[in-house]
A and B are shown apart, each in its own frame.
Chain A
Amino acid sequence: MQSTQAPAQHAHLLNRLIQWTLVSGLTLSMLLMTTGVVLYAMKPADGVATALPPRAILEGIGAGSPIAFMLLGILVLMVTPALRVAVAAVGYVLERDWLFALVSAGVMVVLLISLAVGAA
């Protein structure tokens, strides 16, 4: 009996972890974006930038730049689903569910390829 219950509980825990990852990533991103919008409403003179690398964004955050807050919000939003794939991959490894650990790792590889394509 125990052998059938334990995997079901693990699966439930993993689902909750995945949910928690997505909801907290979204919340953090929305907070950053809203902060950016409020700062922008106060001093919209800041020049618009796109495609800033993470380091430049963090420097902008230190300087209180509204655009930097907006871009960091966008980056957090983009990292969240990738984090969810990583959480699932680790979860499947802990469950010794090798097939789905491999599937999650495969999705992760494709996401890394997209980073490389973007950087090229």
Chain B
Amino acid sequence: MFTAILVSGLVAGLIGAMIGVGGGVILIPLLTQVVGVPIRAAIGASIVAVIATSSASAINYVGNELTNIRLGMTLELATTIGAVMGGITAAYLGKEALSGLFALAMLPTIISLWRKKEEDPPSGLAVTEAVGRLDSKYYDPKLQQEIGYRVRRLPLGMGISFLAGNISGLLGIGGGAIKVPAMTLGMGVPMKAAAATSNFMIGVTAVASAYIYYSRGDVDPLVAVPTAVGVTIGALLGSRIGPRLRTHQLIRFFTIVLAVMCVQMALSAVGISIR
């Protein structure tokens, strides 16, 4: 059991970093559907693992200034409030309801992976001077130019961040699949900066519900520790080899795997289990 959990963490971290999704969305179906961990313990372990991957992503942001810390901190006001409420609500839901909600929460990830292009062009507005307090710029080495952007529609971003935090607290996932489109499509933040800022926010968001899970006894160390160690090692490996192996076919393949897991989660919501 211990080894199977460690391997699940490794696999989730590796694939997550390679295809660019948070570990939780792969991890929880693996733990519940393949290893047979009860969903409550899987969510408790995932919320801890998610903090580890968010902290690990800080290793990569030396000097690139992709992470918009001011924007992240502002949106965290909304994600943490949402997460506390999600963490409280989770106690009142049965395992069927949690599985069903999880299947629903997987849909944005599956849809965005399916529509992913080979390389996303930067969608930022060309700004020469930063005007607002949340505006930022970063250097894109591939395009060899500085990409500046203005942050728009903050209230919309706060609203969606609240929802993302709520889902994170309820289901033990990062919620990047909801925050990133909100930032790129809604707020005018370029893709790369949005992804980095989302990763930055995930740790604090997860902490807001993790302590609630911990004190309720839903963080079983024999599940959470192998998961967190596995996911961290997997994510660090994945971020090294990921860029070289990331192909359209690979993303398609794992999108289909996730879709199958999503169906399994939906089926266990109505009491049917296929393992």
A→B interface (CB under 8 Å): 14-15, 18-19, 22-23, 25-26, 29-30, 33-34, 36-37, 40, 48-51, 67, 70-71, 73-75, 77-78, 80-82, 84-85, 88, 99-100, 103-104, 106-107, 110-111, 113-115, 117-119
Contact = CB atoms under 8 A, between A and B. Distances in A.
A30 B59 CA distance: 14
A84 B80 contact: no
Contacts of A118: 211-212, 214-216
Contacts of A119: 215
A50 B219 contact: yes
B228 A77 contact: yes
Contacts of B220: 48, 50
A107 B51 contact: no
Contacts of B77: 103, 106-107, 110
Contacts of B65: 15
B232 A30 contact: yes
B251 interface: no
Given A103-B77, A118-B215, A118-B216, A84 B204 contact: yes
Contacts of B56: 26
Majority SS at the chain B contact face: helix
Contacts of A30: 52, 229, 232
Interface residues of B, number: 50
Contacts, number: 148
Contacts of B54: 22, 81
B73 A74 contact: no
B214 A114 contact: no
Contacts of A22: 54-55, 58, 203
Nearest to B49: A77
B40 to A, nearest CB: 11
Given A36-B225, A107-B73, A117-B212, A26 B52 contact: yes
A39 to B, nearest CB: 11
Residue of A18, A22, A100 contacting most chain B CB atoms (<10 Å) = A22
B77 to A, nearest CB: 5
Nearest to B44: A50
A110 B11 CA distance: 33
Contacts of B212: 114, 117-118
A80 B232 CA distance: 15
Given A88-B73, A114-B208, A74 B224 contact: yes
Interface string B70-85: 1001101100110110
Contact of B225 (A74, A106, A110, A115): A74
